[in-house]
Amino acid sequence: MEISQEFSLTAKPADVWTALKDIRLVASCLPGAEVLETNEDGTSAKGRLSMRLGPISVGFDGQATITRDDESMQASLDGKGVDPKSSSRAQMKMQYRVVPESEGSRMIINAQIALSGMLAQFSKGQIVQDIAAQLTGVFASRLQAALEPKHEASEGAGTAAPASAAAIPDAPALNPMSLLLPVLGQRLRQLMSGDIVLPVAFALLCLLIWEGVTRYFQISPVLLPAPSAVWDRMMETMPLLLHHAYPTVWESVVGFIIATFLGVALAALLSASRLMRSMLYPNVVFFQLIPKIALAPLFIVWLGIGYESRLTFSVFISFFPIVIAALAGLDNVDKSLLRLCRALTASSWQTFVSVRFPHAIPYIFSGMKIATTFAIIGVIVGEFITSQEGLGYLILFASAQADTALILASITVLCIFGLAFYGLVVILEKVARAKFGA
């Protein structure tokens, strides 16, 4: 496997070449690298290169020999190492050189890396290239910092003395998870821009047209009340609306939470066991295709006319999109990363916690966003049939009284709750993505 990287530095080529002769300084600029022993002229060294992936860690103990040509400012490095944990071996042949640029110098690196043993699968994907790119970026920035003048005297002399290795803080351990699961913040910026302004403006325009049509054509309030009449009716009956909103809200939220836990748990089980997947997944798809509202009377027969039937039906109707979305996320993981976990002898639980679950978070929350609507629908359908309270019952009652304004006022309260519910899930998604690096 070949890797080629280049980067620019503001220091003069001679200063860069002098710094590169200091093996300990170079190691301090490289994340995960540690020099344990070196000879006087810096042409050979023993050390360790460590890498961490969640709870899984790998460390190569080895040695390197360097051959330099000071006149042309180029060198070759032959290194080899072994990871005691996985019994894997690595060999590297690297050529690097420093060339002048108009505003400093440029370092060019070419390396050939060979992995054998359990980690051999690691070299077959794109992951190594991504890690090399990040390593190079960190190394370049830290080397640049090491080459900057540290004292006014060195600036006055006209040549920047390279900083010692002790002056450079320890490089952080390399965490490939930051490469594979980058944090996405685009959605928040969109919400603060046109993505919220345009929909609100369009909704206000529709309300103005609605108001104008009802007034101009003198439409009966029984058929279609004006938005102003709906607003007046909502303010007039606000205590009644809040009283009936409480059971609808808590049953929807509790049903959604239960459906989320059950859905993610079942998806994890189906992803982990081929036998359970073969037995259960076709049935999950079958129940997903059933018109679930038609099953609502069965829940009432089984569980009675209390909140239990409405809560259970809410769980049932919002459960399936979460299962399907979570399972898709758990399955759609970079295969080379899974091979790496197996090569590092990671347990199924470690692989799930460190790789599968963080990768599935966007999928899980996509299913949860759909389930917010389904959870409310499940409760409202139950209230239509049996309840003596709740916004569904109030809508049915207002329909019997031909109070169209109260119907629309109840629907407005439902919409406000639905938007708040959806917004809460979006906020939780941002928190989860930031925590797990999804």
pLDDT exceeds 70 at position 318? yes
Please check whether residue 82 is in contact with residue 88, taking contact to mean a CB–CB distance below 8 angstroms: yes
Closest CA to 359 of 158, 182, 162: 182
Q: From 179, 212, 241, give the residue that closes a domain.
A: 179
Percent of the chain with pLDDT over 70: 84
Instruction: Identify the pLDDT of residue 135.
Output: 76
Instruction: Identify the pLDDT of residue 292.
Output: 81
- Alpha-carbon distance of 364 to 357, in angstroms, equals 9
Q: Are residues 230 and 371 in the same domain?
A: yes
Q: Are residues 289 and 260 in the same domain?
A: yes
pLDDT exceeds 60 at position 429? yes
CATH number at residue 319: 1.10.3720.10
Q: Are residues 164 and 226 in the same domain?
A: no
CATH number at residue 145: 3.30.530.20
**Average confidence (pLDDT) over 49-67:** 75
pLDDT exceeds 70 at position 216? yes
- Write the pLDDT tens digit of every residue in 174-202: 454 444 344 334 444 555 555 677 788 88
Please check whether residue 17 is in contact with residue 72, taking contact to mean a CB–CB distance below 8 angstroms: no
- Return the ∠ at Cα 342 (arms to 339 and 344), rounded to 5°: 110
Instruction: Identify the pLDDT of residue 420.
Output: 93
- Write the pLDDT tens digit of every residue in 98-112: 999 888 899 988 888
Q: From 179, 212, 240, give the residue that closes a domain.
A: 179
Q: What is the mean pLDDT of the chain?
A: 82
**Per-residue confidence band for 122, with pLDDT thresholds at 50, 70 and 90:** low
- Alpha-carbon distance of 272 to 136, in angstroms, equals 37
Instruction: Identify the pLDDT of residue 438.
Output: 58
Q: Are residues 25 and 127 in the same domain?
A: yes
Q: Are residues 350 and 413 in the same domain?
A: yes
- Ramachandran area for residue 434 (φ above 0: left; ψ -120 to 50: alpha; else beta): alpha
DSSP state letters, 289-332? HS-GGGGHHHHHHHH-SSHHHHHHHHHHHHHHHHHHHHHHHHH-
Closest CA to 105 of 77, 139, 147: 147
Q: Are residues 110 and 210 in the same domain?
A: no
- Alpha-carbon distance of 216 to 151, in angstroms, equals 81
Q: Are residues 214 and 288 in the same domain?
A: yes
Closest CA to 113 of 27, 2, 30, 32: 2
373 burial via Cβ count (<10 Å: 0-12, 13-18, 19+) = middle
Please check whether residue 33 is in contact with residue 44, taking contact to mean a CB–CB distance below 8 angstroms: no
Q: Are residues 111 and 161 in the same domain?
A: yes
**Average confidence (pLDDT) over 314-339:** 89
Q: Are residues 277 and 162 in the same domain?
A: no
Please check whether residue 320 is in contact with residue 367, taking contact to mean a CB–CB distance below 8 angstroms: no
pLDDT exceeds 70 at position 19? yes
- Write the pLDDT tens digit of every residue in 288-303: 888 888 888 888 888 8
Closest CA to 98 of 30, 27, 6, 28: 6
Torsion sign (Cα): 15, 20, 24, 25:
positive
- Number of domains, the chain: 2
**Per-residue confidence band for 127, with pLDDT thresholds at 50, 70 and 90:** low
- This prediction has a pTM of 0.57
**Per-residue confidence band for 229, with pLDDT thresholds at 50, 70 and 90:** very high
- Alpha-carbon distance of 327 to 274, in angstroms, equals 13
Q: From 159, 179, 199, give the residue that closes a domain.
A: 179
Full domain range(s) for residue 216: 186-436
